[in-house]
Structure 1
């Protein structure tokens, strides 16, 4: 600030008057000029006295100030389990407008805070997929100016402990899951502050895709790589909370159905001495003085359990595939839902059971997780999965003919490409009005060595795949349970029977006919919700280019 812009003091005005009583030409000033200078000196004196008085009053107020909100806000000490009060803390999911007037205590994250004017601060508090609005309003009895200032300084994503009274909002709160109640905050403590600037806001990470398509969109799109690089933050969005509750639901329903069908849950080794599927798509690891592999599938051990008279087994466990596939549906590690079952007469007993199992899972998701499905649909809109009470089954030659009739050039024993899978899915949807179906009787040449050949049709096999929205989510078959045929088929796939001797030997002592399959958990969730990329349904995805976080 320049000298000319400074407020004149009494001394500076007096000095000026002394210097300018005589003008530049050393002539005395007029009475009018002297009177003006006198007024300026008086004005400066009064201002100086006023400022001094205000400073004294402010100091006195600060010296005597009593914060009537003291003890009702602040940073809590580090929780080292010092005490246990056993006071009930609320879940936002249990709060609604019928409880107005009640005092509640809850711990939540600060989704966002919005100061309004000089006496209000609005909050959105979040627990998993639920949220509620809170208001800190300065008053004369409970919430002091100091408490309001503290509240406005809390960073987004901090964890807080909130106590307040449930009141009716001025209008329904559309931005929160609790629309008809808000918390009038009386106490507010920070349990764990958010210290660093967020890599992206939860609001941007939660926006429906359609909002980015608007011409006047001013939002920052959070790309999938950015999300995955900062997965801990990304997983906090309501959409992701919903996705992984649904994923958990698939596992629960899978387990429920099979346990009711007298299956036994097993846990097979994931470090094995030979490639379980054959081929080169395995991760080799150093194992003391020899080499081992990460399991491509629990396949061999599932079958060994059938040979051990378990009769019906299932497993939920990681599966490793060393495939350099950078697609929307492939990962190098995924969660496999595997099952194997001895049957009485025909492998279709197993195939039909699996069809019923999927219908049970889909029904269960729609009934138990409707709120979560709706949350995902808000950000990634999709058509609900269509499926039939009795799952549609087509044979491979029928599928080939459908594709040929639609103009696809395809041989009888060609494997389905990804493009043809999707096209077939559209054809099936148009003809049968279902997104979910079974394809039976695959060509033998495109199936693993342990697949049972079809006895009635040369070149085909007793094998099947299950599809959702034109993409495969499960592969299965009747397994070869006769040792000599198993060795023959292994050699046909360039697998030395000696490398799988313990597996082959398991069938030498009598084995029941059996069949089963392996399901990709993340792929099922991806296609059920139609979110377009398997990495969205993998907690911490692993692919050829990603090993972190």
Structure 2
């Protein structure tokens, strides 16, 4: 009985399938005939495709593979031999290399077969790409080799031996456009698994999404979760080459002006800024703090008669900030120097330093800037050969004249900084300026008060595109005054917690000043990238402690 019931159910299902269309309504007799024809046609197409595939496979199997030594997967490199053969850099290829056979290793970025006899491959080294072509012939390149090339996954590392030929037309999709590579040998060094997102999607400019909203957009959080993959994009290669440039230019200028590079501790027995925004760590049987800054040690180096010092190092801030420009760990570019008569001597050095960095980025990294602009278009950074300097009262007046309510001794918030940046740009045509004479109450305890302007100090900030990138000041170098400033701080600082620092000034300390640039922030604002996480290799913030 059960078998009969199942049979009736099956018959009923088939009748409903024939009688009812996709919308659930009964089909007419003509519609039923049309549907049956379409089904029969699809069935024949599938059978024909399967037959063709089987015939191709049979032909490939029957045809001799005369390229077995020209392709395949290489064994894991365990440094078993050293041939000494020179590997070519794609960036060096030009028409001068035509007819030369070159050996190179690169990422296989994309593979585009046309038929079963040709495969167009884009090879990438860093930000540089070139087109390579694998073409089946009767002596060297077999169909099996072509099929192998089509199966190599995107982002695999490959070893290619190829002949350099002139491109029939400019290869506008690659950075090397006048020549291409005719592949003669192709081996996989390291195969790539399936990527969490495509690098093509990860390098799209916003305008592409405006044209086609269906395109896949890779969120910043997804990028950071898979940062080693995200860092492969040509945009990121350009960004972090420029990050290297910021440090190189910083070090270059200061070394030319007789500064000594130093390396200070990052584990401290007391908070370097005297505030609560510090990370505490267990240090054997006591508590230590991660350095907020090399401030105390820079100054102690000045008391040790080093005169001019700088450091490029990591600092830590336990600020629970979710903003676009704050991180809990970042790279600080610090400088400290003694001066003869006035702390503006130090501002003069800073002026030359910042102009050197900005000019260097603009002039030495034109290729990288062009790559970044393709994905993140921005207006070129504007600056003066001699940087603009404003006093805090002058800035307050500009804000008030623009309708912003602002007290004489108020500290500026982010929104007010941006308004000031726009006002300065409109009036002085610069994206970079210095702001001098900050209110004393908003600066650290070691800041020198301005005797001529009660309530103000000999301190300064620098701004790029309306955002602060450097904070600095003349430091208190008198031991008694420094201790008094610590005790009067809000909240007060117990002198015993910073005694070694205070003691350094008891034996004669020269007047000195300095400051610290945020490396990632400088680059973010120069390129107008909008988020500091784009200029940090592996950013750390209150929500991210990996990878």
User: Same-fold call, TM > 0.5?
Assistant: yes
Aligned to 2:97: 99
Name the counterpart of 2:44: none
Contact residue 337 and residue 346 of structure 2 kept, 8 A: yes
Which residue pairs with 2:22 in the alignment?
Answer: none
C-alpha spacing 1:281/1:62, structure 2 compared with 1 (3 Å): closer
Structure 2 counterpart SS, 1:239: helix
1:312 counterpart = 2:324: no
1:175 Cα deviation from its structure 2 partner: 1.1
SS of 2:163's partner is strand
Residue deviations 1:398-434 (CA, integer Å, cap 9, x gap): 0000000000000000001100000000000000000
SS of residue paired to 1:522 = helix
CA–CA separation in structure 2 for the residues paired with 1:383 and 1:352: 27
Q: What secondary structure is seen at the aligned counterpart in 1 of 2:473?
A: strand
The answer to whether structure 1 residue 250 and structure 2 residue 246 are counterparts is: yes
Give yes or no for the alignment of 1:207 onto 2:204: yes
Cα displacement (A) at 1:219:
1.3
Match of 2:3 in 1: none
Partner of 2:7: none
User: 2:42 matched to which residue of 1?
Assistant: none
| Among candidates 332, 336, 340, match of residue 336 of structure 1 | 332
1:282 — aligned with what? Answer: 278
Structure 1 residues 117-156: aligned runs within 5 Å: 117-156=115-154
Partner of 2:485: 489
> For 1:475, what is the secondary structure of its paired residue?
strand
Question: For 1:30-56, what per-residue CA distance to the aligned partner results, in whole angstroms no more than 9, with x for missing partners?
Answer: xxxxxxxxxxxxxxxxxxxxx9xx99x
Unaligned runs of 5+ in 1: 1-50
Count how many residue pairs are aligned between Structure 1 and Structure 2: 492
* 8 A contact 2:108–2:154 mirrored in 1: yes
- Does the 8 Å CA contact 2:119/2:146 hold for their aligned counterparts? yes
Report how far residue 364 of structure 1 moved: 1.1
Distance 1:317 1:102 in 2: 46
What CA distance in whole angstroms lies between the structure 1 residues aligned with 2:266 and 2:531?
26
1:348 and 2:344 are equivalent in the alignment: yes
Deviation of 1:58 after TM superposition, in Å, equals 6.1
Contact 2:116–2:147, Cα closer than 8 Å, also in 1:
no
Q: Which of the residues 509, 512, 519 maps onto 1:521? A: 519
Aligned counterpart in structure 1 of residue 108 of structure 2, from 107, 110, 115: 110
Alpha-carbon separation, structure 1, partners of 2:407 and 2:363: 42
Match of 2:82, SS state, is coil
Question: Radius of gyration: which is bigger?
Answer: 1
Which of 409, 426, 435 is matched with 1:413 structurally? 409
Shift of 1:66: 3.6
What corresponds to 1:391 in structure 2? 387
Contact 2:270-2:497 within 8 A present in 1 as well = yes
TM-score (norm 1): 0.88
Q: Distance in 2 between matches of 1:62 and 1:495?
A: 83
Residue 62 of structure 1 and its aligned partner are, at CA, apart by 5.1
Q: CA deviation at 1:125?
A: 0.6
SS in 2 for 1:178: coil
Kept after mapping to 1: 8 A contact 2:487/2:495: yes
Three-state SS of the structure 2 residue aligned to 1:439 is strand
Q: CA deviation at 1:96?
A: 1.8
Match in the other structure for 1:73: 71
- List gaps (5 residues or longer) in structure 2: 1-50
Alignment partner, residue 173 of structure 1:
171
CA offsets, 1:111-150, max 9 Å, x none? 1111111111111111001000111111111110010010
Q: Select 2:267's aligned residue among 265, 271, 275.
A: 271
1:455 and 1:161 map into 2 onto residues whose CA distance is 69
SS in 2 for 1:78: coil
Tell me the distance in 2 between the aligned counterparts of 1:171 and 1:207.
25
Q: In the alignment, is the contact (CA less than 8 A) between 2:116 and 2:143 conserved in 1?
A: no
Take 2:172 and 2:481, find their aligned partners in 1: how far apart are those partners?
65
Relative to structure 1, the CA distance from residue 58 to residue 233 in structure 2 (aligned partners, 3 Å threshold; closer, same or farther) is closer
3-state SS, counterpart of residue 213 of structure 1: helix
Three-state SS of the structure 1 residue aligned to 2:380 is coil
Secondary structure of the 1:162 match is: strand
Q: For structure 1, which segment, 328-337 or 138-147, has the greater mean C-alpha deviation from structure 2 after superposition?
A: 138-147
Which shows bigger deviation, 455-464 or 114-123?
A: 114-123
Q: CA deviation at 1:539?
A: 0.3
Partner of 1:445: 441
Q: What SS class does the counterpart of residue 520 from structure 2 fall into?
A: helix
